[in-house]
Amino acid sequence: MVLFDNMGSVTLYTVLVVTALLTYGVAGNPFAVGLDFLKNMITSPKYFIHFVALLAILFLNKSEMHIERNMDYSANFTHWFKSIEGSFVANLQHAFENTALTTGLVFLYVVVLQSLIVASILMYSYRSKSKEMFYATCYAIMLNYFIAIPFFLFFPINEVWSYDSNVKFLMLEAFPKFETEYRPLSGLNNCFPSLHTSISTTLAILAVKSGNKKWAVLVCTCALLTIFSIFYLGIHWLIDMFGGLMLATFASVVGLKLAKMNVLRLPEQLPSRLFAREEVK
């Protein structure tokens, strides 16, 4: 079943899923969460700088492939992983393959994870004075990318389907134009560590720490399904997953500590007098 024709459909699904996640997470109006985010961006220098820094590291990750193409570096270490793992991914894929599962896991891989990132960022600052979980999420996601990018550049590992002829790239069944539409965002040899594993696990750890039990159950479930999807779809090696789990543990622990330390000693809110002029009028 074809889910996505292009990145426009991915964007539309993402907006819908983020809206649904926010409705579930805050048990209220998702648009109020969005308005609160805009207010925080305007009134809180600290909030604004953290969000811009997060966008900057995401842009750096997007630029990684351009940097890689201009590097005089041709090493590849995929044969090591294949020699260690054998046919793990092929056996798992052949055991579970069916059309309905493929469709669901492609949707999870392409849409749900990025939707969880956006929803987490918006939700953790909603009606919160300290915004500690928001800052922890920003730090943790930045650490995930900041640590992973050097591995992508200097320790290239090809996706399983491109190296093992017994593994199919099931992504194409639901997203036929993946190679032309989505591939520019995701390098073929950017496998270790698995960012889908590390980001989903990071979000799960932070969700548990947030104290929102129903949100934690949802995010942890999505993390487990995401980890299964990276093998089922024929993308990642088992070692990629272990690297992702280690990265997620480190990033989430450090992210929480940095948020508690208040490393950027900036005002949480601008002085209220700056916004009082219109009230006086």
Closest C-alpha to 53, from 148, 146, 190: 146
The predicted structure's pLDDT at residue 279:
46
235 vs 183: CA distance, rounded Å: 12
How many Cα atoms are found within 13 Å in the side-chain-facing hemisphere of 171?
23
CA dihedral 43, 15, 132, 146 (to 10 degrees): -100
The rounded average pLDDT for each run of 10 residues, N- to C-terminus, in the chain (281 residues) is 93 97 94 93 90 90 82 93 96 97 98 96 84 94 95 96 97 96 88 97 97 96 98 98 98 95 62 48 44
The predicted structure's pLDDT at residue 265:
60
Residues whose CB is less than 8 angstroms from the CB of residue 230 and which lie 6 or more positions away in sequence, other chains included:
109, 194, 196, 197, 236, 240, 241
22 vs 153: CA distance, rounded Å: 35
The pTM is what?
0.91
153 vs 141: CA distance, rounded Å: 19
Joined together, the tokens standing for residue 63 give 């630029």
- pLDDT per residue over 198-245, tens digit each? 999 999 999 999 999 999 999 999 999 999 999 999 999 999 999 999
Element (H, E) at 114: helix 113-124
The predicted structure's pLDDT at residue 100:
97
The predicted structure's pLDDT at residue 237:
98
The predicted structure's pLDDT at residue 72:
87
Closest C-alpha to 259, from 102, 69, 46, 67: 46
The predicted structure's pLDDT at residue 278:
46
Q: What are phi and psi of 73, to 5 degrees?
A: -150, 115
